[in-house]
Amino acid sequence: MNWLTESLEPIWGKYKIEVTLVTIASLITVISGLIFVLNQKKPVKPEIPTLNKIKSTQVSKNKIFIDLSGSIEKSDVYEISSGARLKDVLILAGGLSEDADRQYFAKNYNLARILKDQEKIYIPSQEETSGRELTLNQNGFSDPSLNILGASEKVNINTGSLEQLDTLPGIGEVTAKKIILVRPYESINDLLNKKAVGKSVFEKIKDLITL
């Protein structure tokens, strides 16, 4: 064994630095490999939504936008809480303006109605209601000569007033009362299922009503 040690001494003396560097590099490589393997085995923790993210999502889902215009103090698109009623958004708008037809409004608008996202509500003035034939719907009124609300507005058979239902083709006061009497409806086809209207009338109004 002594002869081996003696024979290696000259080599060690000559290449001592090189051998030391190779040894250190090998140790670093081994340690790095062990760290990599250990990290690969660690379970990945799922991202837990923070309280702020949850609150932000909830807030966005609980807001709706209503386009309110006409004879009110401040016409605008209002951001309100889901489940808000017509009375709530009217307060934000500053109430009815001086030229509003208050009698017409009181008869045809339901302040307790729960609003839906993207509704457009128009409040007519006294000049607009005077001497004009107005067609009611769930969001306000439509004057054929002014075409204010357009043909896309529909009457809600669950919340529409008798006057609103009476504007539908083939629906008179008697049928409108019957529709109100057998509420609520889960689909527009319930008008037939509950025998509120006949099939011929239903075909006329099915594209003009909603829930």
pTM of the model: 0.41
Check whether 152 has a pLDDT greater than 50: no
Give start and end residues of each alpha helix (H) in 62-124: 86-92, 102-108
136, 107 contact by CB (below 8 A): no
For residue range 70-87, list pLDDT tens digits in order.
889 999 999 999 989 999
Q: What per-residue confidence (pLDDT) applies to 6?
A: 60
Check whether 149 has a pLDDT greater than 50: no
Check whether 157 has a pLDDT greater than 70: yes
Q: What per-residue confidence (pLDDT) applies to 16?
A: 65
Per-residue DSSP letter, 188: T
80 vs 61, which has greater pLDDT?
80
Check whether 95 has a pLDDT greater than 60: yes
11 vs 174, which has greater pLDDT?
174
191, 211 contact by CB (below 8 A): no
Q: What per-residue confidence (pLDDT) applies to 67?
A: 92
For residue range 164-199, list pLDDT tens digits in order.
888 888 888 888 999 999 888 888 899 999 889 988
Q: What per-residue confidence (pLDDT) applies to 151?
A: 40
Please tell me which of 24-38, 49-63, 99-113 the model is most confident about, judged by mean pLDDT: 99-113
The residue assigned the tokens 């393997």 is 37
What average pLDDT does this structure show over 37-64?
A: 63
Name the pLDDT band for 64 (thresholds 50, 70, 90).
very high
Q: Which two tokens stand for residue 67?
A: 């386009």
CATH superfamily of 154-211: Photosystem II 12 kDa extrinsic protein (1.10.150.320)
29 vs 151, which has greater pLDDT?
29
Check whether 88 has a pLDDT greater than 90: yes
Q: What per-residue confidence (pLDDT) applies to 86?
A: 92
Per-residue DSSP letter, 82: T
What average pLDDT does this structure show over 1-10?
A: 58
Percent of the chain with pLDDT over 70: 69
* Run of H or E residues at 77: strand 76-81
Distance, in Å, from the CA atom of 104 to the CA atom of 125, rounded to the nearest integer, reads 9
Architecture label for domain 59-134 = Roll (3.10)
Residue type at position 14: K
Which residues belong to CATH 3.10.560 in the chain?
A: 59-134
Which residues belong to CATH 1.10.150.320 in the chain?
A: 154-211
